[in-house]
Chain A
Amino acid sequence: MEITLAHYLVLSGVLFAIGLIGVMRRKNLLMLFFATEILLNATNIGFAAIAHFHNDLTGQMFAFFIIAIAASEVAVGLGLLIVWYKRTGKIDLDIMTSMRG
């Protein structure tokens, strides 16, 4: 039984689905950030698998830059979240509906 590229891509898709469900389900902003991390990790697995099975380093390079983006996203996002929490005392998405459309 050999593990092929399709196995890894299916796994990547499953993890991406879990992340998407989390993004749509969560109302707490911190939990929403967790779901976005899952999305980024799922794409990383896909990139690394394609790099391995096509014998190319470009996929791993993209995975590195995605990790860098994820790190900076966490830094800025948590900073904004702390500012919002100091101002309102809650980090729920429902109280952020300031515009009445």
Chain B
Amino acid sequence: MFEAIAFYLFAALTIGMFTITVMTSQALYALTAMASGMIFISAFFFMLGADFLGVVQIIVYTGAVMALYAFGMMFFDTTRTLVEKQNNPRIIFVLGVMAATLIVFILVSPIISTNLEARYPIEAAVGNSQAIGLVLFTKFLVPFELAAVMLLVAMIAGIVLAGKKMDKSLTLMAEEEIALMSATQAPKDTEEEGAH
């Protein structure tokens, strides 16, 4: 009973928040609505017994991803109203709902047709975080390492793309060139600061 109440409450909240995210013309409303929607989604994970996943959802999405978006929005002009020019708005809704229904059908059809059996069953004696750790560091070790490498690549790419003066490679330059560059750069920087 309580599970049903919680499910319908959080389902309504999540759908409402994500609808605001998709439909609003204010970028800040979209950001805050999506942050709250992410937290409401973690409630589903707690209801489904995936405690660790719920915690990760809160930490990673509302902690890291949303903070990154908020940080990125400082670069862009977000105060103006977003212009969404549409030639035919109705076809978008029809296409979206149809595609999602099709995807759900494709994903559900193997579950309906055959009896699936668990490869890594959830044991009641072991807590969720412990069970996740056991499976993650034995059966899924290689994907875990690959994910770590991918995150490292993404971090370096983010730094290089968003950082300043990254177009010059210091490792490919001789010592004299670096000294020359810093010597020419320094007076210009002080001039800029003085102008401000």
Chain A interface (Cβ within 8 Å of chain B)? 1-3, 7-22, 24-28, 30-31, 33-35, 37-38, 41, 44-46, 48-52, 54-58, 60-61, 63-65, 67-76, 78-83, 85, 91-92, 94
Known: A68-B147, A76-B161. A38 touches B53 (CB 8 A): no
Looking at the complex, which one of A38, A74, A91 makes contact with B69 (CB distance below 8 Å)? A74
Which one of B10-18, B168-176, B177-185, B187-195 contacts A?
A: B10-18
Measured between beta carbons, the chain A residues less than 8 angstroms from B125 are none
Chain B residues at the A interface, C-beta cutoff of 8 Å: 1, 3-4, 7, 11, 14-15, 18-19, 21-22, 27, 30-31, 34, 37-38, 41, 44-45, 48-50, 52-53, 56-57, 60-61, 64-65, 68-69, 71-73, 75-76, 78, 82-86, 89, 92-93, 95-97, 99-101, 103-104, 107-108, 111, 116, 118-122, 131-132, 135-136, 140, 143, 147, 150-151, 153-155, 157-162
Give the A-B contact count at a CB cut-off of 8 A.
222
Q: Which 10 A-B pairs have the closest CB atoms?
A: A79-B161, A72-B154, A17-B100, A22-B22, A56-B118, A75-B158, A21-B96, A20-B96, A13-B104, A52-B48
